[in-house]
A and B are shown apart, each in its own frame.
Chain A
Amino acid sequence: EPEVTQTPSHQVTQMGQEVILRCVPISNHLYFYWYRQILGQKVEFLVSFYNNEISEKSEIFDDQFSVERPDGSNFTLKIRSTKLEDSAMYFCASNSEHNYGYTFGSGTRLTVV
């Protein structure tokens, strides 16, 4: 069964450093998403991406965040200058139709120290 692949599974970074979280969505999917889950809290929407541009973003997704689909297969989330409160599990997801049939990656656990 096709999978959404996320790398790395764990990342530890120092406060103020840039991190890039990587995702390989399912190849024929058109819509791509990033979500985050702070430990003990619910999953929150960050951003959706379609047709090579951001289609929607939440208030969490400020200027420190950016997304890119650099080569037609990878979908990346960059955090420019990490803060302690960015520590969370970050999930990538994709689907072929908006709001239908989401497939999630297994997540990247980001720890900012």
Chain B
Amino acid sequence: KNEVEQSPQNLTAQEGEFITINCSYSVGISALHWLQQHPGGGIVSLFMLSSGKKKHGRLIATINIQEKHSSLHITASHPRDSAVYICAVPDKLIFGTGTRLQVFP
């Protein structure tokens, strides 16, 4: 069974700061998902990546398959980025514990 660990568990930042959230997993995978859970509970898929780097707006996700590690970066963070960020691995999706991000103006 794949174990998925995230760090940090909680993160506070000032608006404009560069944010990094880390995810590591124990069993080799073909791809990894990054998800965002809004304060109201809804879950949105941000990225699925299997190698290298993906960018969407101010969000950048990287993965190192050999090291079993992925990072999610947020550039120029904004209060609307406040949410829980979750990594998840196949199959059927095994979720990490999430990183609660709060960005203050």
Contact = CB atoms under 8 A, between A and B. Distances in A.
Interface of A: 33, 35, 37, 42-45, 48, 56, 58, 89, 91, 93, 98-104, 106-107, 109
Nearest to A98: B91
Interface residues of B, number: 22
Interface string B42-56: 111100100000000
Contacts, number: 54
B93 A33 contact: yes
B42 to A, nearest CB: 4
Nearest to B98: A42
B44 A89 contact: no
Contacts of B30: 99
Contacts of B35: 104
B42 A106 contact: yes
Interface of B: 30-31, 33, 35, 40-45, 48, 86, 88, 90-98
Contact of A104 (B43, B48, B90, B91): B43
A71 to B, nearest CB: 25
Contact of A48 (B33, B44, B92, B98): B92
Contacts of B42: 104, 106-107
Looking at A58, A91, A102, A107, the one whose CB has the most chain B CB atoms below 10 A away is A102
B31 A99 contact: yes
A45 B43 contact: no
B43 A91 contact: yes
Given A42-B98, A102-B33, A35 B45 contact: no
B93 A35 contact: yes
A101 B45 contact: yes
Looking at B30, B86, B93, B98, the one whose CB has the most chain A CB atoms below 10 A away is B93
Given A99-B90, A101-B48, A44 B95 contact: yes
Contact of A56 (B92, B95, B98): B92
